[in-house]
Every structure is written in structure tokens, then in C-alpha cells.
Structure 1
Amino acid sequence: MDPMSKLVVFTGGTAGLGLAALGKLIENAPTNFEATPRFNYEVYIGARSTSDGALQAHFEGVRQSSPSPLEVKAHLLPLDLASLDSIERFAQDVLSNIVKPNKKIDILVLNAGIVVRNVRKTVKLPDNREFESTLFVNTLSQAVLLKRLLHVMADDGRIVLVGSEKHKVPAKTVVAPSTIEDLLSGGKWEGRNAYGLSKLVQMHLFFILKDEINRRWPSEGNKPSVVAISPGFVPETKLAREWPWILQLIGRYVLTLFPFTTPLPVAANTILRGMVDTTLSSGTYLGRTGAIAPLEECNDPTKRDEWRSWFVELGFWKTGADVN
């Protein structure tokens, strides 16, 4: 690997928002924010399918339409975020074959997510524990990857969690480690609500991660930064891939005409900004027009401690004496 290249690890980069964001990276177009100096990028994308012909053809099309001196090489690695074994293998693959003593992860983007429509699904772990699938894929899988990969982030690296303003929707309900299982149980489960709950827990994870970075890199010098993204309502994403095809077509070609939606290129540019804007402070929650406020409870240190303990008890996080 070229020592002057930036090493990027990316989930959810083969379709929708992630693919569009990587296309923006390849375009190397002028931006309205202060980006890092122009580097080449070596991008490793976790995906369920590792057949990369369509991906490479898409990127080549971007290169031809927007010629750039910047070189972006993309590689696919097998990753199924609904399988703990697959997540662990992906992380080990990154640690064993991609990260080197002189080359750590410069940018880690956790973008993949799902919305389950009307049938509650679960993810079963090797120890026979089961978790509601939206929560596991959208949040718990990210905790596992961060647990495994945080120690190999570059000192000036950037971690991007793609969240959602939907994390504010469940605010009328008491959401806590003691209630989350019941809220996602069969009798109360509803797909869109499950998505909002998963994004609320993810936002707690975001601030837990910020604290953990400060704990592991205590000096005032370079340390990794973490940014959360609210891309807006983007009907062209693949989040609704389980919905009937007619609803997907309506989302893609009708809803995009309404002003309350966010065009895919605009949302992709917000993710790109989260990846490369050097002026963003760690802990920034970024929307299309700039920094926005998360749900107030996410700033509550007592609640954060509760969620941190929950992640640790599940085995999906480590902190203090347990790190490295």
C-alpha cells in the first residue's frame, strides 16, 4: 500500500448513500468545507457480496465523468452485519491483512443499516442469545467493530457514524437498557419505531465512543475524532429494500420531488464532509446545513454510563483496564 494513501474502512458502501459518498470522494470536486489535503485512498468495503464487477464499473463511470488526479482503489471484504461470526471475521481480516505497523485506519465509516418493514426478525448469536435485528445491525454491530478496531485508528483518524434524526422519535417513551428489550418485543414491535430506537441507542454509543477516545488518548495532542451524520430523509437509499417494489419505486421517483426530502448527492456530500472536513470537532452531530443538536438525553452522563455498562455486559464494548 502506498504510504501516502489514506486507509479507509467502510460498511454499507456498495449501494445507496455509501456508494454515493464514495463517488463524491472519487470526484474530488471542490467543496464548501475545509477538506484534508488531497490524498489517494485505499478503501476496504465490508459487504455481503464480494463480487465487485458492478462496483468497479460504477466507480470507473464516475472517474470518466469527473476526471481527477486523485486515486481511489476499492476492495470488497465479506461482511454480514446480521452475523456476529461474520463481524468478527471481518474485523480480524482488517487487523491481520490490512492494518500494518506503519499504517493504521485513517477513516472508519459505519454507514450500513436496515429498516425492517412488518415482520419482526432476530439475530441469533453462537451462544444462543437473540437480539432484534434492527437494533443488532444498526447499532450493536457497530459497537463490536469499534471494540475490535478502535485501537488501530490513526492518531489523527476520523470515525463516522451515519445516524438519523429518527433517534428523536422514541423520546415520548422511557428508553433505557432496562426497557429496550421490552420495547422491541413481539407484542410492541413496529418497524419504523424499531429503527428510531436503534438510532437512539446508536447516538448514545456515539458519545460513549467520544469518551473512550479521550480516555485512551488522554494527551492534548493528536487523537482520533468521531462525527455522527444525519443525512436527512433520502428516499433513494437502500434502507427500504425489504419493502414491496411498488413502494420502493414511489420512494425513488415520487417522494424525491417533495421539499422535505434530501437529494442523494446532498446527503452523500454530508457524509463526505464527515470523512474529510478537518474543522469538525470530535462529537459533532452533522446535518446537511451544519452542526445540529442531538436529543438532549444523549448528553446526560448518567444515562451514558447506563448504556456503557449495558454494552459492556453484552460483551460488545470494552473500557478502562480491559482495552488493548
Structure 2
Amino acid sequence: MPTLVCTGCSSSLGLLALSSFVSRIIASPPSAQWRILAAYRSTSLTAGQEELAKRCREHPDKLSLDWMTLDLLKLSSVEAFARRVKEALKEEEGVDVLFINAAMYNMGARTVDLGGAAWTQEALVNHLSQHYLVQMLAPLLTRASANGLPRSRLVFTSSQLHTSIKSLDELAPRLKPSTTDHSSGKSRYAASKVAQLISARYWQRHFAAAKADARPVDVVTVSPGFVPTTGLTRDVPLLGRLLMRYILSLMPFAVSESEGAARLARTIPASPSDSDDALSSLLAELSKTDNPPLVFLAGPSTAPVPTVDEVRSGARGAVRGGVAEDLLARTEDDEMWKQVEWLLPSEDTLRSWAGATE
């Protein structure tokens, strides 16, 4: 039974993307039944979540959906969510797709104490908690299971705003600020997305170096584009939200929620037979090359998947712009990577931080 674990799919783009995946499964010929373990932050389900759960219950031969609480502002909640995922699986089963879509954007700087240091909420939700979740579920991604995907997949929802961060020196003041550091919501969000790309690149290399008998894990990052009507703007003042919903949403550079969701949904394979689709083929081919670039999908959902040559040359389908492009192209022993080690705390460190904040 293939398993999809997803975060940030309880509303807006994530819920639409998950609904699209469910529709594909329902419409497809009978195959292996999918298990969906979806995270949500609230204490009760929304009408949209209830409706999706109802659709899944109507097709028990094709899929099941379990909503599980997760608050990415609390590392202890991340631990509890990971435990529930493990409990939902049989001993020989693994996670086939880990889809990480949750994000936070605050207008004002809000910090959380972790290990005696102040980290911004954007750093915690958009990066550290996600990195910790992957650490705990990594063994399940590499575990092959009957009727599962031949290659599992780790997907991060990214943002092209990362390009606004031009130097590594800009990260600490926006993610782990001192009392004298000041930053805008946009710059903190952008910095957190650079940190997330650093994590994605780290995991890509980690899984590439796994034992020969481990199931291969493909790592993909995807940008939904600028979608001004999502829940990400909930902290923006009312006038700003109205501007984005009724003015900016009409601009040619804006993306609708349905299109943004479609860009996310195309990263999730629907069945083992999807291993022959264009994206799966691209990832498999890239894995055969030395130090393959991290795939970064942007642009219309109907656009052809980039070719191997396009990704390797940076023409399309790769991380472009800002300090992230330079950093991710360098080998892991490069001095630049040593400068960002503070953004990749060990599982033991994150566990100690989780215990200290209980």
C-alpha cells in the first residue's frame, strides 16, 4: 500500500493540490490502495477537509485519508506527528511520498526560543520543523514496501522569493536575529526559503549516499508562483489583503489558486506506473549523473517537464538566482557550506530543543 504523508494540505493551495491527487486516484484504473496521512493545525476539521475525507470514504478500495494534528511552531508536535505516521504503518511499509507544503509569513518579527537562542517563527515553521520531520521519517522513505513506488519522493514547496537573498550574511539577521536586528516579513520569508533549499539539497545528497539496498529517494522543489489570495497572507493587514485579492490577483504575473495548486499536484505520482511519467523519468536520469542539481520546478503546470540537459545547464528546472544558486552548485566540502551548518542542526539537537520547550 503506497503512502502519502503531507503537511500544509488542510487549506488553500495545499488542500486543492491534495484534492487533485485524490481525484486522479479515484479516476484511475484500480491499482494499489493509497493511504494518505495529512497534517492539519486546527483542533477541528474544516468543511473542505470533511468533504475530502467523505470523498475518500466513498472509494475505500482506492484510498484512505487520515487527518493528523501538527503544529510546526512546536518541535514536540513534529515528534508526535512523526510517531503517529510510524504507528499507522505496518513494520514492512514505508512512506512513498513526503509532501511538505506548510509555510508561515508574519508581518512583524516573532521569535521562538530554541536552545537558548531566538529564532524567527518563519525559520521554525518553514525550515527547522520541516528538516526535523524529514530526519525522523527518512528511514521510511528509503524502506521499500510491497505495492509501493519503486522510487520514493520528497517534495518541498519553495518560492522564487529566495532570489532576493544575495548573500549568506543576510540569513542570520532574518532567521536567528539579535536584539538589534530588524527585518521585513518579506525578507524573513525569503531567507526561510533559502534555508529550506539548503535543507532540500542536504537531503538530496544524503539519500544519494544511502546504502545500495535502500530505496532511492528523489528530492524535488516546486514553486506555485505568486498566488496573492492564499492563506499565507492571513497576517497581512486588511487593506493589504484586499489589495492582493482584488487588485494584484488581476496582474499578469499573478497565479490563480487553481493553477498554483496544479503546479504542486504535478509533483505527486499517482501510482507505481507513474514511474514512467516525464518527471519521474527526469529524476531517475539525473540520479545516474554525478552531483545532479536540485530540481526546482517553476512556471505553468502545463509546461513540459525540463530535460536533463536543461536542468544541468541551469536553463530550466534548476535553482536560479540569489545566493542559493551559488551555494547549491558547490560541493558539500566547500567553505560556503561550512557557513550554513548552523541551519542544519542534528536530530539529537532538535530533539533536545523539543524537550526544552515542553
TM-score (norm 1): 0.81
1:225 and 2:213 aligned: no
Alignment partner of 1:44 out of 33, 37, 43: 37
Aligned-partner Cα distance in 2 for 1:36–1:251: 41
Instruction: Report the residue type matching 1:149 in the other structure.
Output: L
**One-letter amino acid matched to 1:79:** L
Tell me which of 330, 333, 355 is aligned to 1:300.
330
Q: Which amino acid aligns with 2:132?
A: V
Query: 1:207 maps to which residue?
Result: 201
- In the alignment, structure 1 residue 99 sits paired with structure 2 residue 95: no
> Map of 1:1-324 to 2, 5 A cutoff?
5-28=1-24, 39-52=32-45, 54-59=47-52, 71-95=62-86, 97-117=87-107, 119-125=108-114, 127-153=115-141, 154-155=143-144, 156-171=151-166, 174-175=167-168, 180-184=171-175, 185=177, 187-218=181-212, 222-276=215-269, 277-281=279-283, 283-288=294-299, 289=303, 290-291=305-306, 292-295=317-320, 296-297=325-326, 298-301=328-331, 302=334, 303-308=336-341, 310-312=343-345, 315-316=349-350
Indicate conservation of the 8 Å contact 1:236/1:251, yes or no. yes
Contact 1:208 1:304 in 2 (8 A): no
Contact 2:25-2:62 at 8 Å conserved across structures: no
Give, in angstroms, the shift of residue 304 of structure 1.
Answer: 3.5
Q: CA deviation at 1:84?
A: 1.2
Decide whether the 8 Å contact of 2:152 with 2:218 is kept in 1: yes
Shift, 1:224, TM fit: 1.2
Does the aligned pair in 1 maintain the 2:295–2:319 contact within 8 Å?
A: no
Structure 1, gaps ≥5 residues long: 318-324
Tell me: CA distance 1:287–1:70, structure 2 relative to 1, closer, same or farther (3 Å).
Answer: farther
1:245 to partner: Cα distance: 3.1
Instruction: Give ranges in structure 2 of 5+ residues lacking alignment.
Output: 145-150, 270-278, 288-293, 307-316, 352-358
Relative to structure 1, the CA distance from residue 90 to residue 222 in structure 2 (aligned partners, 3 Å threshold; closer, same or farther) is closer
Code of the residue aligned with 1:87 in structure 2: it is V
CA contact (8 A) 1:164 1:232 kept: yes
Shift of 1:62: 7.2
- Superposed CA offset, 1:46-99 (max 9, x none): 221142252344327878xxx99984432221111111111111112222x123
Contact 1:23 1:62 in 2 (8 A): no
Structure 1 residue 222 displacement after superposition: 4.4
CA contact (8 A) 1:13 1:111 kept: yes
Cα drift, residue 254 of structure 1: 3.0
Provide the secondary structure at the position in 2 that maps to 1:207: helix
- Matched positions, count: 300
Instruction: Specify the code of the residue in structure 2 equivalent to 1:181.
Output: A
Asked if the contact 2:26/2:59 (under 8 Å) is kept, the reply is: no
User: Normalization by structure 2: what TM-score?
Assistant: 0.74
Flag the 1:60–1:148 CA change in 2: closer, same or farther, 3 A.
Answer: closer
User: Secondary structure of the equivalent of 1:293?
Assistant: coil
C-alpha separation between the residues in 2 aligned to 1:212 and 1:311?
12
**Deviation of the 1:11 alpha carbon:** 0.6
- CA displacement 1:143-169 (0-9 Å, x = unmatched): 111111111114421110000111111
Tell me the amino acid that sits aligned with residue 99 of structure 1. Answer: L
Whichever residue aligns with residue 65 of structure 2, its letter is A
Distance 1:59 1:261 in 2: 27
Could you say what the CA RMSD is over the residues aligned between the two structures, in angstroms? Answer: 3.1
CA contact (8 A) 1:159 1:275 kept: no
Q: Do the aligned partners of residues 78 and 286 (structure 1) sit closer, same or farther apart at CA in structure 2, a change above 3 Å counting? A: same
2-structure distance, mates of 1:8, 1:80: 19
SS at match of 1:161: strand
- 1:8 positional shift: 1.0
User: Following the alignment from structure 1 to structure 2, what is the Cα–Cα distance between the partners of residues 114 and 48?
Assistant: 12
Residue by residue over 1:30-52, the C-alpha shift from the partner in whole angstroms, topping out at 9 and shown as x without a partner, is 99xxx999654221112211422
SS at match of 1:105: coil
1:308 positional shift = 4.3
Cross-structure match for 1:321: none
